């Protein structure tokens, strides 16, 4: 079996595209799709074993990739890694700034250390990688960057640290889109809602039992997104067809961010998911819902 992308084969032939957080979840899925379309994918993450596992999958499917394990929050490590990637590959055509993570907690219970860890993961690290990719490669040759946000409109009660970081990433996206346009660099973002991804299994038992089963009911389409539905939007923003899209953010949340919470949602929505990822793994947490 192979990735069933809606984009044409060979679309990214000869291109080098970095995917941060490429060892799992949306990053893994996106890396597979890009590789299936001819890109040489550079998988980035903190854990080399996870990156190697995904790299083996991609190669088994006939794709090309390499791995670089480092912490995106470490400025010196980011500089050295991007330098090494440019030395190996010649240039960087695309960056998917996907890496991130958070934990559920009310604002009153978040420590300074916890707050900074999430902000560094979801905002500062993405900025560092994008800045170095621009300075060391795209400043000369152009390119496309896609940043990862979340459905943070109207606040993110229970995950305020992530909401603040994601809102910051939106403003960074809009600012970089203006400052870097002269070099032929487009900077856009995607903002997924709840996704049937492996990340759901990382939440604690209480969250999985009490919160996750209620997610579908808050989405007008009455389901969670598939990883492939997030990847498809990311890939589109990297394509030549998006050549005049700059500084934009695509919400991929089934309409959840547009719901006033006053309109009563009806059950049984006839929404058919796009399951393009042939290696998708259903989260164990969703077995409860």
Give a yes or no: residue 2 inside a domain: no
Residue-by-residue DSSP string for 59-127? HHTT-EEEEEE--TT-HHHHHHHHHHHHHHHS---EEEE-------B-GGG--HHHHHHHHIIIIIHHH
Instruction: Find the domain containing 78 and state its range.
Output: 16-256+278-288
Dihedral of CA 241/95/231/127: which sign? negative
Count of structural domains, the chain: 1
In-domain check, residue 11: no
What does the block give as tokens for 64? 């090309």
**Percent of residues, the chain, with pLDDT higher than 90:** 75
Total-model pTM: 0.91
**Predicted confidence (pLDDT) per residue in 162-220, tens digit:** 999 999 999 999 999 999 999 999 999 999 999 988 777 777 777 777 777 888 888 99
80, part of any domain: yes
* CATH code of residue 189: 3.40.50.720
Share of the chain above pLDDT 70, in %: 96
In a domain, 227, yes or no: yes
Distances from the Cα of 72 to the Cαs of 47, 69, 117, 272, 289, in angstroms?
A: 12, 9, 12, 36, 34
267 found inside a domain: no
Tell me if 3 is assigned to some domain: no
Q: Has residue 6 been placed in a domain?
A: no
Which of 45-59, 75-89, 128-142, 149-163 is the least confident region?
149-163
Is 81 part of any domain?
yes
């Amino acid at each position: 079996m192979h990735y069933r992308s809606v984009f044409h084969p060979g679309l990214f032939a000869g291109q080098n595209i970095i995917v941060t957080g490429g060892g799992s979840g949306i990053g893994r899925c996106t890396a597979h799709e890009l590789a299936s379309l001819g890109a040489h994918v550079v998988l980035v993450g903190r854990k080399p074993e996870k990156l190697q596992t995904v790299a083996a999958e991609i190669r088994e499917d006939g794709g090309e990739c390499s791995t670089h394990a480092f912490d995106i929050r470490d400025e010196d490590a980011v500089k050295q890694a991007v330098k090494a990637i440019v030395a190996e590959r010649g240039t960087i055509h695309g960056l998917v700034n996907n890496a991130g993570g958070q934990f559920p907690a009310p604002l009153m219970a978040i420590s300074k250390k916890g707050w900074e860890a999430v902000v560094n993961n979801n905002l500062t690290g993405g900025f560092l990688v994008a800045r170095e990719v621009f300075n060391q490669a795209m400043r000369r040759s152009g390119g496309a960057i896609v940043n990862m946000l979340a459905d943070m409109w109207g606040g993110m009660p229970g995950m305020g640290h992530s909401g603040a970081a994601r809102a910051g990433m939106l403003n960074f996206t809009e600012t970089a889109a203006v400052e870097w346009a002269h070099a032929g660099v487009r900077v856009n973002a995607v903002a997924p809602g709840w996704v049937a991804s492996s990340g759901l299994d990382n939440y604690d038992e209480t969250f999985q039992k009490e919160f996750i089963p209620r997610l579908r009911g808050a989405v007008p389409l009455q389901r969670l997104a598939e990883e492939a539905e997030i990847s498809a939007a990311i890939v589109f923003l990297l394509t030549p067809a998006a050549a005049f899209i700059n500084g934009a953010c695509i919400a991929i949340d089934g309409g959840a961010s547009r719901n006033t919470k006053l309109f009563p949602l009806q059950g049984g929505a006839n929404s058919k998911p796009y399951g393009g990822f042939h290696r998708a793994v259903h989260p164990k947490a969703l077995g409860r819902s």
